Chains A and B, each alone.
Chain A
Amino acid sequence: MIGYKAVRTTPMIHDDLPDLITAAKGDPAAFGRLYDRYLQPVYRYLYSRLGNAHEAEDVTSQTFIAAYEALPKYREQGQFMAWLFRIARSKMNDHFRRNRFEVELDAAERISAGEDVLNELVHDEELIRLRSVIKNLNPEEQDLIRLRYVADLTFAEIADLLGRREDAVKKTVYRLLARLKSQME
């Protein structure tokens, strides 16, 4: 677990989000602040699906440009994160349609192993096994794990994104964790 606490994402503050969204509808600078807040979760999620920085940057760019252009029509109902991730997933699907392949988890793992922190951790046998077990989940289950543990979305945000009830999402994720844990034992 070396270095983990140091690199963990800081929880995001959402209190001023409605005001920021309203301002961003007519002001590129205010949109810049929204971008600052959401860039990393979106990028990390796309990276974990695409497996390399080049494509993750490309699709991240498309996501924020589309969000910028669509923002005037966005109606704030507390679902901004879900709305943004819906765009990100749509752009990613477009990307897959164009390129006709999807990077598997271990490919992403190989590429991301260049990161300093991961270099230390990739030799951790337990983590390698855990990745392998996660890789055997079906794509929807893997995506749930990504949304929760890579993008750091709350259960409510995932529920909004997937059109499901929050408690159902929570239950599904926790059951997945229980399954993963039992497979690790």
Chain B
Amino acid sequence: MNDLNPSPDFEEKVRHAMKSPDASPEFANRLRNELVRRPVKMKPMIFKPAWALAFMLALMVIVVSAPGLAAALGRVFGYVPEVGLVETTSGLRMLAEPVSATRDGITLTITNVFVYEDRVELKYEVNGIAPENDGWQASDRSTNPTAFCGGVNPGDTYNPEGDARLRLPNGTTLERDYTGKYPQNVFAMQPVYDAAVPSDVTQMTFALKCIPMARLGVLPENWELTFDLATVPAGTVVGEPVIEVPPVIPEEVPASPSTDVVSAPKVTMTLERIVPTDSNTVLYLHFNMENADPSLISIMPRSVYIIDSLGQQIRLIGSFVWQPFEHQVGSSFEFVTESKPASGPLTVVADQVIAYYMPLYTDPPQTTTEEMTFTFDAGENPQYGQKWDLNKTFSIAGYDFEIVSAQAVAFEDLPNRQNFIDGSQGYDYGYQFIVEADPALELIAEMDIHGDEAQCWLTDVNKVETQPLIYTQLCKNGYPKGQVAVTIREMSITLTEDFKVEWKP
């Protein structure tokens, strides 16, 4: 063996001398189940109709019912991993200890319960489900969705079969909240109940007809677990202590995509809370846009990092909306550092922030469906590859964009078709729109093709740097014919400035 030519035999010996065992199948399966059941905390910018509807409902209710900016001072928070902030300003009741039950190898554990004055937040987990019985993994999940608890066929309304219910000692049953008051209530295993539980209740019963997305008729059903509540006195910190960051007057940054005709709104980023833990640091950031157009619904940071006292740049992960009771939906976010930063001052930097506008769905609406709709004549027999020049101009929040053309395409033409791991699902034909705007905006417009008969749904959004947006929507029953109407549903732009906040302990 010379310097650059080790003998394969000796490499084999080294490999063998260092050999470590593989992970056990039990562990591998358990972790896999946990992972595929975890909520996707940061979704791409694609709103599927069901999500969009839930989001809009949540937004409308919150805009109406938001109590206004609550006084941050004097509020007491703790931080519980996997749960988030727990407020104990007025005291609360919480799960005395986790409870679990195992039936036929399936273990259901209630891990957290917090009973506030006006609501109950619960979290549970299930382990031991084989992949073939797990609706997130099973091969027939898309072809036979109703074989799984809570599954619905495309287009059907929500099926609450897998919703956990809470039964109080007096027989009252609490149902999971769907009014949109608590928008974080999107995960079946983290339900929120919009109810004021009497103060003398110290025990509840968790009742679940079937495990969400588990194959029906195969796994144990009709679960019931009784758990005890412990009282947490007001002011007690639950979990890790939270550092409240005093409000400072932030530096105002004009939103970058200003054009000659748009007066740029002022965007500010505020660091509200910090939670140092043993392994990382949790940060709560709030984005605000002054003199924003009323059709703005959310400002979403896409890329955020911190620079610690040693100059290390550490990415922040998470970026999901946290308890938005005091802010408009989609402006306050929880982030976690990828690794533990050095102690001392921190600089938080957001270098990509997306602003979302939905003028049709704000309360009150900022435009009409007619104003956001365009049509083109596809004729009675549209052919694959056929193209129509449209040149339809729209303006949302002062940002102009043009629907340049439409073309009849098929699923195989989707730029991101590999994202659809279930294939076309029958949505084989539709129209592809080219949308142009000021390249600095990185504008994305999302739209829906009308027509019940055509059932248009599957959507692909492709925006590559400064190139025009390619937006495709495919339909189930061939190409929509005749006068095809399309409505702009949403528009987003990217703010490219760096937003910075410095914090000194």
Contacts and interface: CB of A to CB of B under 8 A. Distances in A.
A175 B278 CA distance: 38
B137 interface: yes
B130 to A, nearest CB: 13
Contacts of A90: 338-339
B44 A25 contact: yes
B161 to A, nearest CB: 20
Given A26-B40, A108-B20, A150-B18, A181 B1 contact: yes
A117 B336 CA distance: 41
Interface string B273-315: 0000011100000000000000000000011000000000001
Interface string A101-114: 00000001000100
Interface in B128-163: 131, 136-137, 141
A174 B36 contact: no
Given A26-B43, A175-B3, A126 B20 contact: no
B31 interface: yes
A98 B418 contact: no
B440 interface: no
Interface in A127-162: 127, 130-131, 134, 145-146, 149-150
A7 B16 CA distance: 10
B317 A48 contact: no
A7 B19 CA distance: 10
B21 interface: yes
Interface in A16-42: 19, 22-23, 25-32, 35-36, 39-40
Contacts of B16: 1, 4, 121, 127
B20 A23 contact: no
B404 to A, nearest CB: 27
Contacts of B75: none
A80 interface: no
Contacts, number: 171
Contacts of A117: 19
Interface string B14-31: 111111111110011001
A72 B42 contact: yes
Contacts of B1: 177-178, 181
A94 to B, nearest CB: 4
Interface stretch (B4-12, B218-226, B395-403, B444-452): B4-12
Contacts of B418: 19, 22-23
B419 interface: yes
A121 B20 CA distance: 13
Interface in A46-76: 47-48, 53, 56-57, 60-62, 64-66, 68-70, 72-73
Contacts of A45: 20
Contact of B317 (A7, A70, A134, A180): A70
Contacts of A62: 279
Counting chain A residues whose Cβ lies within 8 A of the other chain, the interface size class is 35 or more
A22 B18 contact: no
A93 B20 CA distance: 19
B419 A26 contact: yes
Given A68-B35, A70-B315, A30 B421 contact: yes
B37 interface: yes
B11 A48 contact: no
B14 A171 contact: no
B249 to A, nearest CB: 30
B14 A177 contact: yes
A39 B28 contact: yes
B441 to A, nearest CB: 21
B209 interface: no
B20 A112 contact: yes
Nearest to B37: A28
A81 interface: no
Contacts of B315: 70, 73
Contact of A44 (B21, B46, B278, B302): B21
Contacts of A91: 279
Given A25-B44, A68-B38, A150-B19, A87 B338 contact: yes
Interface string B406-429: 000000000010110100000000
Nearest to B278: A98
B35 A65 contact: yes
B332 to A, nearest CB: 18
A94 B36 CA distance: 25
Q: Which of A7, A97, A174: most chain B CB closer than 10 A?
A: A174
Nearest to B339: A90
Given A29-B137, A31-B36, A47-B20, A130 B13 contact: yes
B23 A93 contact: no
Contacts of A36: 32
A43 interface: yes
A34 to B, nearest CB: 9
A97 B279 CA distance: 9
Nearest to B421: A23
Contacts of B265: none
A118 interface: yes
B41 interface: yes
B11 A177 contact: yes
Given A28-B136, A61-B31, A171 B23 contact: no
B416 A22 contact: yes
Interface in B32-55: 32, 34-38, 40-44, 46
Contact of B36 (A23, A32, A44, A181): A32
5 contacts: A22-B418, A23-B418, A39-B23, A94-B339, A174-B6
Interface of B: 1-6, 10-24, 27-28, 31-32, 34-38, 40-44, 46, 131, 136-137, 141, 278-280, 302-303, 315, 317-318, 336, 338-340, 416, 418-419, 421
